[in-house]
Structures are given as C-alpha cells and as structure tokens.
Amino acid sequence: MYSRIAGTGSYLPAKIVTNADLEKMVETSDEWIRTRTGIERRHIATPEETTSSLSTEAARRAMEAAGVGPEDIDFIAVGTTTPDLIFPNVATLVQARLGIHDTPAFSLETACSGFIYALSMADKFVKLGESKCALVIGAECLSRVIDWTDRGTAVLFGDGAGAVVLTPSETPGLVTTLLSADGQYQDLLKFPYGVSFGFDKLRSGAKAGIQMKGNEVFKLAVNTLSRLVDQTLVKGGIDKSEIDWLVPHQANLRIIQAAAKKLDMPMERVVVTVRDHGNTSAASIPLALDTAVRDGRIQRGQLLLLETFGGGFTWGSALVRY
C-alpha cells in the first residue's frame, strides 16, 4: 500500500507588498532584493486573516481537486510556525472551519520543513491503512513575526497556505520521504521568545522578530540540500535523470539554482515561485506544487522531488510520482 496525491490547493492573501513598497519602509532597494534573493513581491495577510483561515481556503481547493468532501477526511496535519493560538492547534481550528469531526488533527512546528514533515507523517498513516483520506497543509502568517524595521529579514518573507489530499494507492504515489534535523544550529535562525522562554518579555511589550544570520544559513542550506538530494535519490532507488520536476522550498533563488545544478536540471524543470511569494516557510512547497499543477506544467505520472531546509535546522525531502 502507498499514498498518492489526489488533489492540491493553495491560497494567498489578496494584499501584495512589492519591493518598491519596502523601499519606503527600510533602507533597501528593489535591485538588492531581486539580485540577492529573486524576490519581487509577497502576499501579506490582513489583520482578519489567520493561519487557520488561509489553511482552510487552501484545503477547500485541494479537497475539490481531489473530489472529496469534509465527510471523507479522516486525518489532518498542518505544518506551521505561526499558529493562530498557542492552543488549540491550527489543525483543530481548520477541522472546525471545514465541519470535520472526530479525526486526528495536529500541527507540527518544524519551520520551513513543516509541510514535508507533515506529508511524511500522513504518508505513514495512509500506508498503514489508518487513513483513507488525509489532509496535509503547510501555512504561515510570517508577517506577524517579522520586525518590519530589520531590512535583513523584512524583505524575505510572505504569507500563504498550500494543501494536498493523500489517498491510498496500490502503486506509488509517494516513493519515499526523508526527514532530518540538527539542533546545534538553532541560533542561526530563530524567533527569540516563546511560551516557556521569554513569554513575560512578550507580555510586557518587548520588540521581537525573526532573527537570522543570513549568510551562514545560506551556506549551510546549500551544503545540506546537496547532501539531502543524494541521500533521497539513493533511498528512492532513482537516478537524477528520471526526475521531471524539482519543487524546492522557496527561500532564495540562488539556493534553488544550486540545487538544480546539483541535479543537472535546467531551470525550466524547476518550479520557482519565490519571485511572487517570497519565503512562505512551511507553505512554500505546497504553494509551488499547486501553482505548477494548476498551470499544467506538472502532469499525472511525472516524478517530482520536493526538498526543504529551515530553522532548527530541520530539513527533508519527498520523491513523489504525481
């Protein structure tokens, strides 16, 4: 028994912030942002929109594409670093919004790897016969945790959500997934306060935002993703020439280009959305996947390599026969 992606969906807030808009907020330039990151614009949630509301819209679209209804869903996993609340978890909020009852519903906080971690969990439930229709979501409202006066991070991130529905299949489907992490790098990319650490500071109004040593993260991301690609191909028993599409985490165009080079893949076979979405962390891969499915680039039967790297550090991949 395998799992397969029966449908994809995504949702972006309507509000767009361009590089030109950011030039008015911090000392930066469209030229710097485009050449160093590949980003031109990003979507930003309104105060009324939340991670669970974006997730719900993405989920509705994935369920419609898969031809399933709320009564069919029997498992919900959401990867996110920016939950609506400390608890209940985002997946339960999505469950309620969709009118789904009596299913497992949980969220995972593995930063940019959240969707791949959630996908890997769901794959196991489907493979074991414990789920017949799993909803897997990656969603973020990163705009809420950005320090909008820090040009080193404010220009990078965006909001959005992507989702897939997994169903059982006699043939893969998900060929293999690979997950990993190394907590020794926790200080290179983090939000400095949480619940059991620094909550009092947040309560008393301390200024806080995502902190990143960009240059060090960049080098580790390129090296780790290079190793990850090799390990994934070996684990899946696949030669790199067999991959039809690379669907990478969208943090920086230069990191994506390095991964494509490693695979000897022309950029025409790489799904790139960072230009329009910025870095949406856990949402970036399902957003990119849905974009390329809906515009007709990704076709049924093709082999996809999904790969990600983010805060923790955490990283992971999935080889998917779509």
Shortest approach of ligand UT7 to residue 213 CB, angstroms? 8
Which residue number, 186 or 215, has a Cβ lying nearer to ligand UT7? 215
Positions touching ligand UT7 (CB under 6 A) are 28, 32, 36-37, 112, 151-152, 155, 214-215, 217-218, 221, 251-252, 255, 279, 309-310
Which residue numbers are catalytic?
112, 249, 279
Shortest approach of ligand UT7 to residue 191 CB, angstroms? 12
Shortest approach of ligand UT7 to residue 279 CB, angstroms? 5
Which residue number, 2 or 218, has a Cβ lying nearer to ligand UT7? 218
Shortest approach of ligand UT7 to residue 157 CB, angstroms? 8
3-state secondary structure the chain: CEEEEEEEEEECCCCEEEHHHHHCCCCCCHHHHHHHHCCCEEECCCCCCCHHHHHHHHHHHHHHHHCCCCCCCCEEEEECCCCCCCCCCHHHHHHHHHCCCCCCEEEECCHHHHHHHHHHHHHHHHHCCCCCCEEEEEEEEHHHHCCCCCHHHHCCECEEEEEEEEEEECCCCEEEEEEEECHHHHHHEECCCCCCCCHHHHHCCCCCCCEECHHHHHHHHHHHHHHHHHHHHHHHCCCHHHCCEEEECCCCHHHHHHHHHHCCCCHHHECCCHHHHCECHHHHHHHHHHHHHHCCCCCCCCEEEEEEEECCCEEEEEEEEC
- The residue at minimum Cβ distance from ligand UT7 is 214
Which residue number, 36 or 240, has a Cβ lying nearer to ligand UT7? 36
Which residue number, 27 or 295, has a Cβ lying nearer to ligand UT7? 27
